Amino acid sequence: MASWNSIHLKVLYQVLGWSTFFSWAISCYPQIVLNFRRKSVVGLNLDYEILNLTKHLSYLIHNASLYFSSVIQKHFEKYGFEQMIPVAANDVAFSTHSAIMTSIVLSQVVIYERGSQKFSMYAIGIVSVVLFIAAICFFIALHDNSWLWLISIFNSIQVCMTLIKYMPQAFMNFLRKSTDGFSIGGVLLDFSGGIFNYSQMAVQSIDQGSWVNFFGNVGKVFISLV
């Protein structure tokens, strides 16, 4: 893979990347603390959380596979032998941490007061379809050794989940005319993390003089913008 042309941009890349990680990582905690203090998840949309977990697990599979697997990295050479992989260590750390934290929130759903709230058939249906598609794609990739294609599917899944996961919570807030029970602090940190994440990609592209970093990992671009 390619090396950095500017040590200053490399340092800035690392700073922005870990700023992204800490913003997105810390954004998980206000909701967990709020649920713990209230001993209730009333006001937190359950569909949002199950869609969020599906998103983070899909993103973790993509990031960890591309970052650690030399086999998949060789397939990435279709973009050119002198290109950097578009996944950083902070991306792997973020998706791992977020999957764990979202699982903790879902465990709070089980043990705390949730009123009349329950998972909708729509959310359960979406997750079921996603799992079915992922299973089919895995067996296709297993037959053809098309592993880069497979992780791109998981990347596409996480983009779709990112696009729709906020909708149940936003609609619920609208119906209640209230955000009580949903952490506002988490939203602000989520927003700042998106800015840092997009900026990190821009720095790598500037250093390399190439936009492969963007279209080689469209999923990372989309979660920043969304």
| Residue position matching structure tokens 């764990």 | 100
Domain count, the chain: 1
If one compares 79 and 49, the residue with the highest pLDDT of the two is 49
DSSP secondary structure letters along the chain: ----S-HHHHHHHHHHHHHHHHHHHHTTHHHHHHHHHHTB-TTS-HHHHHHHHHHHHHHHHHHHHHHH-HHHHHHGGGG-TT---S--HHHHHHHHHHHHHHHHHHHHHHHSB-TT----HHHHHHHHHHHHHHHHHHHHHHHHT-HHHHHHHHHHHHHHHHHHHHHHHHHHHHHHT--TTS-HHHHHHHHHHHHHHHHHHHHHHHHHT-SHHHHT-HHHHHHHH-
Res 222: pLDDT: 82
- Is pLDDT above 60 for 223? yes
Q: Is residue 51 part of a domain?
A: yes
Residue 139's domain comprises 7-225
pLDDT range class, residue 6, cuts 50, 70, 90: confident
Does residue 138 sit within a domain? yes
pLDDT digits (tens, 9 = 90+) for 119-147: 999 999 999 999 999 999 999 998 888 88
Residue 121 is assigned to a structural domain of this protein: yes
Report pLDDT digits (tens) over 59-113: 999 999 988 988 777 766 655 546 677 788 888 999 999 999 999 999 999 999 9
In sequence order, the 6+-apart residues with CB closer than 8 A to the CB of 143 are: none
Q: Answer yes or no: is 2 within a domain.
A: no
On whether residue 203 sits in a domain, the answer given is: yes
Which pLDDT score is estimated for 98?
A: 93
